[in-house]
Structure 1
Amino acid sequence: MTDRPKESPGVFQAHLREAAAGILERFPEASRREIYALSFNIWRIDYDDRRPYVAIGYNTEGQYERERRPDDPGEARWNYACWLLDGFETLGNVPEDPAGGPLYVEEIKRLGLWYDGDDVEVGADDVIDAQRDLLNLHFADACIDLARHLHDSGRIEQLFGRPLPVVVFDMDCPGWEIEATEAANPPELIEDFLTWQRAAEEA
């Protein structure tokens, strides 16, 4: 997840970019003015690393006000545990993305990351564990690239009338959202997010 030269997206990445723009366009009109951050929530069906997806959502000022506490308003604003998390559209190797699933499988097979078997025990095979790590890294990179593209193309600003930070997180990897969100956004958009994260680490 480092800066790399720009290159043409692969077929799966191109699908993510087009489909994600459509998801943003379908966000409720009534919520758009209240949205202060977008969310990329990475997860997997049945904890299977071959079936990852990202739920593309948002948090609103109204949700923040409902969750905030006087002693730590930043917690409610930037901790995804306090955010709206349900009911958002998903992309990846999931039934809800019938075009993206086959493209994802094709890509990871081409990269040599696919493995067969439905009941491989965690830790039972070092090779499988390494492939799982690579699968997770591959999908995380795809989501970070997607966020960068939505910024660089101006799509977020076009749709919402202003730039918005994209907070990228995986509830199975607490703490990773700092690295991921830094990689996914222009620095000026996440100053408040990082300030709260640093304060939380020091507490």
Structure 2
Amino acid sequence: MTDRRDTFAEHLARAATGVLERFPAGLRPEIYALSFRIWRVDGDERRPYVAIGYNTETQYAAERRPEDPGEARWNYACWLLDGFETLGSVPEDPVGSALHQEEARAAGLWFEDPDEEGDGGGGFADDEIDVKSDLLRSHFYDTCVGLARTLHAEGHIERLLGRPLPVVVFDMDCPGWEVEATEAANPPGLIREFLAWQRAQQAT
């Protein structure tokens, strides 16, 4: 027995499994894809979070257009986006908030904002803050992609939702990145349809 604390990634995996368990039972047969919507509180890269949700066949049918049915199916702008649980550096996840800050500090990525009252600026110039912000974003991106891979590898998605489902990872502040992120987050067979539509869009 040890008293070792979870890492931030381990906490997210444990908490995300709980989120999946709380998906409405009646909707589970309708879910065809999971969504990892990445955002940040007040645009602050020190306070990132991921909203773990899904899209359903009913939502797809409501948004579908004959001229491009793939857009409604795979473009997150057409998906259900609101009302999902959030994990990361948000008040709703105090454990995750503490672990994220602790790991960011240990990695030398944390900074104090000179515009925040009472912190004295932390000794960081604006260009240093920009660099650290970019690194914090990349770190959280990698963590969310890793989270999806863990949920697949440990069988949580199949166990809780009855079958393997693709996880579409996206950040509305970084359009286009969802292709790279989703490809990295999933086994190839699960995202053939997603990638085919994305590549067709890029070719037009």
Question: Structure 2-normalised TM-score?
Answer: 0.92
- Runs of 4 or more, structure 1, over 2 Å off, are none
Q: For residue 120 of structure 2, what is the aligned residue in structure 1?
A: none
1:82-101 superposed matches below 5 A:
82-101=78-97
Equivalent in 95, 99, 106 of residue 103 of structure 1? 99
CA distance in 1, matches of 2:112, 2:167: 34
CA distance in 2, matches of 1:156, 1:43: 23
Question: Could you give the per-residue CA deviations for residues 174-195 of structure 1, whole angstroms, max 9, x where no partner exists?
Answer: 0000000000000000000000
Q: For residue 197 of structure 1, what is the aligned residue in structure 2?
A: 198
CA distance in 2, matches of 1:69, 1:117: 46
Question: Structure 1-normalised TM-score?
Answer: 0.92
Q: Structure 1 residues 128, 158: closer, same or farther in 2, change over 3 A? A: same
Question: Could you give the per-residue CA deviations for residues 155-198 of structure 1, whole angstroms, max 9, x where no partner exists?
Answer: 10111111000000000000000000000000000000000001
Q: For residue 176 of structure 2, what is the aligned residue in structure 1?
A: 175
Question: Number of paired residues?
Answer: 192
Letter in structure 1 aligned against 2:193: D
Give unmatched runs, 5+ long, in structure 1. 1-8
The RMSD of aligned alpha carbons is 1.4
Secondary structure of the residue aligned to 1:64 is: helix
Secondary structure of the residue aligned to 1:115 is: coil
Q: For residue 51 of structure 1, what is the aligned residue in structure 2?
A: 47
Give unmatched runs, 5+ long, in structure 2. 117-124
1:1-203 superposed matches below 5 A:
11-117=7-113, 119=115, 125-203=126-204
How far apart are 1:66 and its partner, in Å? 0.2
Letter in structure 2 aligned against 1:127: E
Question: Could you give the per-residue CA deviations for residues 135-170 of structure 1, whole angstroms, max 9, x where no partner exists?
Answer: 000000000000000000011011111100000000
How far apart are 1:10 and its partner, in Å? 6.0
Question: Could you give the per-residue CA deviations for residues 79-100 of structure 1, whole angstroms, max 9, x where no partner exists?
Answer: 0000000000000000011111
